[in-house]
Amino acid sequence: MLFFLFASVIAESIVETVNNDPSSTWVAIEYPREVITLAKMRAMLGEEVLPLEDVEYVEPNNVPENFDAREQWPGKIYPVRDQASCGSCWAHAASEAIGNRFSIKGCGKGMLSVQDLVSCDKGDSGCNGGSGPLSSKWLVSNGVTTEECLPYVSGNGRVPACAAKCSNGSQIIRYKYEKAETYTVQNIQEELMKNGPVYFRFTVYSDFMNYKSGVYQHKSGYQEGGHAVLLIGWGVEDGVPYWLLQNSWGPAWGEKGHFKIIRGKNECGCEQGFYAGPVKC
Ligand SMILES: *[C@@H]1O[C@H](CO)[C@@H](O)[C@H](O)[C@H]1NC(C)=O
């Protein structure tokens, strides 16, 4: 009897816990192994876990209810990528923020290079992780080249030495932030509307892996690590305010590679600082 009771508790998976909870604002699924596993997710979490702070958020009254950078700047936001087996979330978020900002300004260089940051950014740690503030600093002092010049090759977890030339032998040209800026939850919406996407970090729990759609809030599972993604908008779904994010786990995960997380509650420490900087054509 006790055995069966015990077995049935174990059998309640994260997916069932989330989907059977009437207060849940998101839908969970069991992904096929090719999309994600717990081991693969752990390998991709390359941001610090920050101690949770008290953050106050009062929705600004000069911003629209919904904002999506892809609609604001059609064709200017580069698509979802896949880190594969490398903790390069930080390099994806950082290169996407600066790349999209050049693109929005009208001087896009094509996607900017994740590999350049993974192999060359000495302030961060390649496939072992990096951070928003440190990668922003690197983007001011050194900058980042294009994906075309240095394509992503660290999906297998190996990090080649920093290249001296583009993969075709031409000179490397890098693009920089004019300065590194940290935005607060209070001014991030205006910043996003004005200059484009920013680096967004938060703490990941096991249930995040199973996210399929809706507005994520942590419901079940253990703390797994820190993660960085790209903030591209916000909105309200069924009365629940959210941040809109572009992940780097390929288009088969979540809402075509994107997800929403509840806004205004510092969920998973996600409202403790946002990173990017101004760019000039
Ligand atoms: C080599 O790559 C660079 C950077 O992507 C590009 O600008 C250049 O046109 C390429 N050169 C040749 C000869 O393909």
* The two three-digit tokens of residue 26, written as one number: 């998101």
> Could you tell me if 63 and 190 are in contact, meaning their C-beta atoms sit under 8 angstroms apart?
yes
pLDDT tier, 259 (very low <50, low <70, confident <90, very high otherwise)? very high
Locate the ligand 1 atom nearest the alpha carbon of residue 168 and give its number.
Answer: 1
DSSP 74-99: TTTSPPP-B--SS--HHHHHHHHHHH
pTM: 0.95
Domain locations in the chain? 2-276
Span 155-173, pLDDT tens digits: 999 999 999 999 999 999 9
- Whether the pLDDT of residue 109 is over 80: the answer is yes
- Whether the pLDDT of residue 211 is over 70: the answer is yes
> Could you tell me if 154 and 88 are in contact, meaning their C-beta atoms sit under 8 angstroms apart?
yes
Locate the ligand 1 atom nearest the alpha carbon of residue 169 and give its number.
Answer: 1
- Please list, in sequence order, all residues whose beta carbon lies within 8 angstroms of the beta carbon of residue 182, skipping any fewer than 6 positions away: 133, 273, 274, 275
Q: Is 198 in the pocket of ligand 1 (CB under 6 A)?
A: no
Give the residue-averaged pLDDT of 123-147: 98
Q: Rounded to 5 degrees, what are φ and ψ at 111? A: -60, 140
Q: Whose CA is nearest to atom 12 of ligand 1?
A: 168
Q: Is 167 in the pocket of ligand 1 (CB under 6 A)?
A: no
Kindly report the CATH number that applies to the domain delimited by 2-276: 3.90.70.10
Tell me the β-bridge partners of 181: 276
pLDDT at 6: 52
* The two three-digit tokens of residue 204, written as one number: 């990941």
> Of 201, 181, 185, whose CA–CA distance to 101 is shortest?
181
- Whether the pLDDT of residue 113 is over 60: the answer is yes
Tell me the β-bridge partners of 214: 26
> How far apart (Å, rounded) are the C-alpha atoms in residues 146 and 257?
22
